[in-house]
Chains A and B, each alone.
Chain A
Amino acid sequence: MPGNAAVFVTRHLSKVYRMGEVEVHALRGVDLELYPGEFVVLLGASGSGKSTLLNILGGLDVPTSGEVFYLDHNLSAASADDLTRFRREHVGFVFQFYNLIPSLTALENVSLVTEIADHPLDPIEALAMVGLKERINHFPAQLSGGEQQRVAVARAVAKRPDVLLCDEPTGALDYASGKIVLEVLDRVNRELGTTTVVITHNAAIAAMADRIIHISSGEIVEVKCNERKASPSELAW
């Protein structure tokens, strides 16, 4: 895949948090390129800076120094409004705690996003993709954790994002539900060709990625390409 124009390019990306008197260097000069259709797993321990990197890529945070480009948009120089528009138009998010709106049904949680997107999937189709066609009128409280996370995935992909960013998507799930969610992510990546970045500290998940990026203490310490991508059903942890 390297060879195509990169979707994301970061140059000397650094992020420093000031916690009182202490400066925390969450990222220290990260250079990274992400390519169209890639499935990338970001591996790292807690506090390694992987979430900070994901947040900057997703336009939720801005770097302290360095640059980050999405195609020809310079995200490091964008205003808050530009970042909102960027998220709205290009990014799908999946979080550890699903972050569904409790007062909306599965279908409505998805519609929430398709209503503000330009060329969205049909929300029912998106839910069918994650295997929840029968449960579209259930409220979050009526769904299991795995089902809630699948709704979150459906919500993220329904707007046909250019990039899908997942922060510990299986972190709050049991083994079986976790695997189902991974299968959904894999399918979305294959069928829609969405560039997908998954953060995890579960090294077993790395087997299903095209590329694995190891982060430690705010730096990329290793980048590995899988010769053969495993299917999620083959994973075990």
Chain B
Amino acid sequence: MSLASLCHRVLSDLRQHLYTQIITTVVVSLSIVIFAFFTLIYFNLHQFVERFGTELGLVVFLTNDIPQGKIPGLYQKLTELPGVEKVTYISSKKAFKRLENYLKGEKGVLEGIDPKFLPPSFEVRVNRAVFHLKRIRQLAEEIGNWPEVSKVQFGQEWIDRLESFLRLFRILVAVSGLLLLFTAGFVVANTIKLTVYARQEELKIMRLVGATNTFIQGPFLAEAFMQGLLGSSLAIGAIFVCYRFLQGLAASSELLRGVNIYFLPWPYTLAIITSSILFCVLGTAIAMWRFLRL
């Protein structure tokens, strides 16, 4: 079958079965909107945890008895670590002052306490582009092993909490995603099957006049390809509108100001569109194979 003949048959089919084609595309589109929306939420939460972890940076507490002469060497060592943006030394005195400022009206609590009781520390800010949460943890472990360092903090508790929430959410997304995918798959597969069954008389006649399975399947598969492509593109478009709306909401809200909302990265978008096309084409091929082998 030539390409021109295929195009002619596809166009003719589209004209004759426009309603069914629209319904199938809408079903595909709706199923993908729901799935992609969940993915968008999950992706943004994941990004938030990543960013939050790196924004906290590291606080490297030194031992109380560290000789003053070793501080510049340590400072140098920290700044030379790849991905480290800024290192600030906080002496015991400065730390004490910060504590006083923090306590404000309750300053009396600190009366009689040696200003050197707080250990000196370095505040380390890392480059977010280089450091992911996992890498920060590794860096903290590495610095923690230095003999002059007593402790390294990087908001571990917060991150652990967020991470465990994210783990739970990931399971929730995975389970709901699978359920959604299954439901969407079931609906789409049955819509396709109904489309094929509705045209089985036509298929029978084609077989009768000597059409090969490839000839019969060609336009159906091309239509399925278009349904998958159009359905998923519409869904991604709808999700983009939704993303812009959420972005506007975040910008105008006091609570959410500063919270960045990200759109699905292009590999995700591409994966959704490709899977949708594959799903439609395979669904049609399977529905037709069942019919054509009879």
A in complex with B: no
* A interface list, Cβ under 8 A from B: none
